């Protein structure tokens, strides 16, 4: 029974570590203030949209990580830590950044700001 508990704790630890994957620190896209906006308005909207994007990204990452939590205690001793970690973290930094950027740009656009096309 003691070995069973150790393996179960290891599986839970891997899942918790994966759930703590780093979120983006900010957008990787440019946004231009809408016509007639003051710097204070733009900064306020920027802060609000960054929080919105962080919340959306965290929720998407948690849903993706939740798929990997389906491992049962009986499977824990046989689980390959790399596979469990890979599926949980497999959401990937690139996809996490894309989710963040999409949420951020949608929010900023809804507030009347401009998203320039970069070629």
The 10s digit of each residue's pLDDT in 18-34 is 445 578 899 999 999 99
CA–CA separation, 56 and 3 (whole Å)? 38
CA pair distance 63, 25, nearest whole angstrom? 20
pLDDT at 34: 95
pTM of the predicted protein model:
0.63
- In this model, does residue 100 exceed pLDDT 50? yes
Cα distances (Å, whole numbers) of residue 43 to 11, 95, 111: 42, 26, 12
Residue 90's pLDDT is what?
Answer: 53
Query: 33-86: per-residue pLDDT in tens?
Result: 999 999 999 999 999 999 999 999 998 888 777 654 444 444 444 444 433 443
Higher pLDDT among residues 71 and 103, named by residue: 103
């Amino acid at each position: 029974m003691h070995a069973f508990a150790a393996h179960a704790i290891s599986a839970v630890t891997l899942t918790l570590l994966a759930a703590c994957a780093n979120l983006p620190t900010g957008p990787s896209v440019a946004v231009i203030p809408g016509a007639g906006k003051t710097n204070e308005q733009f900064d306020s909207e920027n802060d609000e949209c960054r929080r919105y994007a962080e919340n959306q990204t965290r929720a998407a990452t948690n849903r993706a990580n939740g798929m990997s939590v389906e491992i049962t205690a009986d499977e824990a001793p046989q689980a390959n830590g790399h596979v469990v970690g890979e599926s949980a973290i497999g959401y990937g930094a690139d996809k996490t950044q894309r989710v963040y950027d999409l949420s951020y740009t949608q929010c900023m656009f809804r507030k009347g700001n401009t998203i320039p096309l970069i070629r």
